[in-house]
Structure formats: structure tokens, C-alpha cells
Amino acid sequence: MNEAVLERMWRHRASALAVRLNLAWWTERFNQLLLTVLPLLAVAILAGRTWREQWISPAGILLTVAGLLALGALAAWLLARKRFVTGEVGLVRLDERLGLHNRLVSASRKVGPWPADDPAFDLSTGLHWKAGRVVLPGLGSLLLVVAATLTPLPKREVLPREVVQPGAWEQMQDWLETLDAADFVDKEAIERFESRIDELKERPEEEWFSHTSLEATDSLEEALEEEIRDLATEMNALDRSLSTLESYSSESAEEAKKEAAREMEMAIDSLGQGGLPLSDDLRKELGDIDPSQLGSETIGGLSQEALEALQRQLGQAMEALGSLEGLPGLEEGMAFGEGLPGFGEGEGEENLPGFGGITRGRGDAPLFFGKEEDQLGTSNVEGIRNEDLSRATIGEVLGLGETERKIDKSRIGPVDGGTATSLGKGGEAVSRQPLLPDEQAVLKRFFK
């Protein structure tokens, strides 16, 4: 063989040896990365199948494994490249293995000829692959991923999330259910308030406690409270007027009877209006009452028994209003305002408020809190005066009067600048410290 053929042969053998060495270094790094990354992937798959099963799919797992293997191969090459050898190192290893005493290295440097090929050369170089160290780390890691993917897991019971609604919604719903069960308020009015509550509930749960939602809830709660208060006030006025008219005898004052009848008619009109009007049946029964016939056996289209049944129904309605929780002034079955000054009864033999006289008014005040203006039957406006000033409060106006300004009309002529035209005044108000006679004598010696 000529020198060129021998050179190609020995350099090819040296390159093959270098490739085997470099591949061994890369395999070691690659297996180390697989032993780190794939077990972590198996844990992630188990966690995903347990908590987010919809995110896990076989195709996604295969793509993830393929991507990790590619990235691992690249990372292993970057980590192992500092240990890679070249063909020159392969020639050194062949010289050492074959006992050529550096003849290959010398030939590569053009110092000597390339040695001839000898069948007695052992070209195995003493390097052998250990299948266990090469295959088992990667295979074991892949088996962990397969096991994490295919191992059956017990079904996880997802407990339903308990969504807490604003407390005002539940309270308003309880109020409306109580009014609906009492069956004396118009059903359509109750449904209108319920639909407004449902509109708030239909919003996304994340917005239930937002500023806008809570502001709308407060506004709706205040509106419902006001309607219930007005309803309780008018129901109380109607019940009181009805009881008063029924208790009047024929000898009673006609003017007081007319006043009670007027209050009753106003209460009935108010109960038919507003946001929570009475039901149609109850309004019809109240409309059949003729206040002028109260005390007789038949009142308009109602008998005495029907009137008593109507009064019992009104009493049950007032009890239902009094049972509503969270409304100040509506407690223990007491209608709004009942028990306050002006809602009491007279002290006579009959259960009546009294008729009043020259020096005092009647036993109750025909003034009720509501949207309608109270008709007092007079347009005379009188001022209230407190003659007992011992009970006056701080800042209270005790009286008003008219006064005139006093103008100094004395004439003052021109005055030269820098000259005093009159003695100074005002010193009388300056505090002077009295001195003893000895002290005054000392001052006179220095200030003559």
C-alpha cells in the first residue's frame, strides 16, 4: 500500500474511535438528564390527572416526551462537548493500544512513514458498551411516564362550591315570602321585587360583592323597607279607624265620626297604591265598607260577621308585618309607629281617643308618616313660642328686634401731619400696677 492509502486507513480508524468515545460521554450526560426530567414529568402527569384531568391527553403526553427528549439530547451535547476528543487523540489511543510507539502520531506530523497494516493488530481498542448503563436509565424513566399515564386513579369527588350570596338578598327574599304567605299583598307587586332580586343574582358571581352590585342591593333594600313601612303605617291607621268607627255610638259627636271615616278612606286609598298594594280581593272587601253604616247589622255589602272576619284578616296581616326581621319599628307584631306618642287611646269609658275641647286637642294626633299630605282642615299658621326661658338651649333664639345705628355727627377739621391735636384716650382701660411711695420717689429721681 502506498502512503496515501495507509494515511486514510489509520485516520478513519482514529476518527471511528473518537466517535465512540464522544458518544459514550454524550450517553452518560443524556441518561443523567433523563433520570432528572422524566420522573418529574411523571409526577406532573399524576397531579394533572388528579386535579386537572381535562388538561391531560395521550397526544399531549407524547408531544411533551418527544420535546423533552430533543431538548435533553441538545443539552447533553452541550454539557459533554468539553470532554469530546478529536481524531488526533484517536491516533494516540491506537498507538498505545497497538504498541506502535508513537509511529501514528509521528506520521501525522510528517516525521515518519505510516505503519503498514498487520492482521495481528487488535483493533478492538479494549472499549465495550455496557447495555445496562446505556439502556436502563432512559428506559426506566420512560416506564415511569407510561405508568403515570396508564395507571388507573380513583375518581376524585369534586365537592360543589358553596357560593355565599349577600345577606341582604336572603333577608329581602324572606320578607317577600312572608308577605306572600300572608296572602294580603298583590302577587304582581311581590313578583316585581323578586324579579329585581333575580336580576342581581343573574350577574356573574365575581361581581356579587362589587361596588356596583352592593350599591344596587342597598337601593333595592331601602326601597322595599320603605314600601313595607308605608304598608304597616296605613294598615295600622286603617285598623285603628275601623275600630274607632265601630265603637262609636249614635250619641257620639258627628264631627269626630266624620274625621275617623275620612282617615279610614285615606288609608284604604293609600293601601291600593304604592309599591306593595293590597290584593284585589282584600281591596274589594274594604271598598264594600260604608263608614256611615258602621255599628249596624249590615255595612254596605258586608254583614257584621264578614266585617269581623275582615278585621281578623287585617290583624293577621299586621302580625305578619310585625314578624319581619331586620326592620326597626316592626317588632313583636307591632305595626310601625304603634306605641309611640299620638297612637294611644283616650282615658274615657269607651275605647276612643276623645274629642278634645277649648283648652286641648283630641287624644290622638291625626298625623301619619307617609307619602300623602295630612289634611288638617285648616290653613291657619301659628307660631310656637316658649315663654319659659329657663328651659332654653344654648344657641336658641330668644327674640328678635329692630335697632338703629348711632352716627357720630361731630365735625373734624384738617389736622397737620406730625402734630398731636388731642390727648391720647383709652389709657383708662390699660392695667396699671400701683407703686409704693418709696418706689414712686425713686422713679421721680430718674424721670424728672
State yes or no: pLDDT of 251 exceeds 50.
no
Averaged pLDDT of the chain: 75
CA distances from 286 to 48, 244, 366, 412 (A): 69, 16, 21, 86
pLDDT digits (tens, 9 = 90+) for 65-86: 899 999 999 999 999 888 888 8
pLDDT of residue 334: 43
Identify the domain containing residue 68 by its residue range.
3-150
pLDDT of residue 335: 41
Pair (121, 190) in one structural domain: no
Pair (210, 132) in one structural domain: no
Mean pLDDT calculated for residue range 47-76: 87
CB 344 within 8 A of CB 244: no
Q: How many structural domains are present in the chain? A: 2
State yes or no: pLDDT of 99 exceeds 80.
no
pLDDT of residue 420: 63
Give 360's Cβ-side CA count (13 Å radius). Answer: 8
**End-to-end CA distance of the chain, in Å?**
148
Pair (204, 295) in one structural domain: yes
Q: What is the DSSP string of 328-381?
A: TT--TTPPTTTTSTTS---SSSSSS-----SSS--SS-----SSSPP--S----
In degrees, rounded to 5, the angle at the alpha carbon of residue 117 between the alpha carbons of residues 112 and 119 is 150
pLDDT of residue 372: 65
> Which amino acid is located at 1 in the chain?
M
Q: Which of 102, 129, 100 lies closest to 20 in space, CA to CA?
A: 129
CB 386 within 8 A of CB 392: yes
Pair (146, 187) in one structural domain: no
State yes or no: pLDDT of 427 exceeds 80.
no
pLDDT of residue 333: 40
State yes or no: pLDDT of 277 exceeds 80.
yes
Q: What is the DSSP string of 137-161?
A: HHHHHHHHHHHHHHS--PPPP-PPP
Report if residue 380 sits inside a domain.
no
Pair (99, 46) in one structural domain: yes
Pair (183, 241) in one structural domain: yes
* Residue count of the chain: 448
Report if residue 52 sits inside a domain.
yes
pLDDT of residue 228: 84
pLDDT digits (tens, 9 = 90+) for 364-394: 565 655 666 666 667 777 766 667 777 777 7
pTM of the model: 0.41
- Residue 48, Cβ neighbours under 10 Å: how many? 16
Pick the last residue of a domain from 298, 322, 346. Answer: 322
Pair (144, 249) in one structural domain: no
Pair (145, 230) in one structural domain: no
pLDDT of residue 70: 92
Pair (210, 303) in one structural domain: yes
pLDDT of residue 101: 80
